[in-house]
Amino acid sequence: GGFAKPKDLRPLCDIELTDIRGTIDMNLYGSIYNAYYTIGYMLKTVQNSSDKNESCSIINMSSIAGSFGLATAGDYCISKSGVDGLTRAICADYGASGIRCNSVKPCFVTTPLTTAMDDALEEKTGQRGCREMSKPRQVHAEWVNPTDVAYYCLFLASDESKFINGSMCYIDDGTKGSYNHLPSMVNDQ
């Protein structure tokens, strides 16, 4: 998730270092703390199971922005790239011990925050917002719904996904192909 406000859309070097740290603390360190404090319990669960195929699943919330830069959201992109690195590290360190770890990488999810950010982006740049710009590349004429993300996570937590480990799992309706066409506010300050 994110916690920026529409007014926070700024190029990386215009963001206060304390704000960058806050984004990294929330998005990356939140995931690190989750893994750090749960992996020990997961290892015990797997080791104490009578089922030789027992596994546990960590699902990290990343973002499409962790793989593709997004103008005016550098702090968010940095934090989500870190989440993806954490996912790969957990897979490498604990996969053989029965712990799976994947990153879910949604694009724009319909929430009050993302709607306000998109409206602010369009107002500030005079260009169509991200919602409108991504439509031509999407199958559906809407953003991802939070319920869609929840169902994807439920799948990753289940035994149905037992061979999915260390993956960057996009839920973007084709949007990642349009990321380099998103409006930039760098020159509109």
Q: Crossing angle for the helix pair 74-94 and 30-47, nearest 10 degrees? A: 20
The tokens describing 3, both together, are 């916690």
Q: How many Å separate Cα 48 from the centre of its chain? A: 32
Look up tokens 């953003």; give the residue: 143
175 contacts 76 by C-beta, under 8 angstroms: no
pLDDT given at position 39: 98
> Per residue of the chain (189 residues), what is the pLDDT tens digit?
555 555 567 888 999 999 999 999 999 999 999 999 999 999 999 999 998 888 999 999 999 889 877 777 889 899 999 999 999 999 999 999 999 999 999 877 878 877 777 777 777 776 656 666 556 556 666 678 899 999 999 999 999 999 999 999 988 777 666 554 444 433 333
Residue 108 phi, psi (nearest 5): -70, 120
What pLDDT is stored for residue 172 in this prediction?
Answer: 79
Q: With beta carbons less than 8 A apart as the criterion, state whether 165 and 95 touch.
A: yes
Q: Kindly provide the b/e burial profile for residues 62-91, where b requires at least 16 CB atoms within 10 angstroms of the residue's own CB.
A: bbbbbbbebbbbbbbbbbbbbbbebbeebb
Instruction: Please report how many Cα atoms fall inside a 13 Å half-sphere around the Cα of residue 13, on the Cβ side.
Output: 1
**Whole-number Å distance between alpha carbons of 103 and 65:** 12
Residue whose C-alpha is closest to residue 91's, from 51, 59, 52, 50: 59
Which residues, listed in sequence order, are joined to residue 56 by a DSSP beta bridge?
A: 99
How high is the pLDDT of residue 131? Answer: 63
- Please identify every residue annotated as catalytic: 76
Judge contact between 142 and 110, C-beta under 8 A: yes
Please tell me the pTM assigned to this model.
0.83
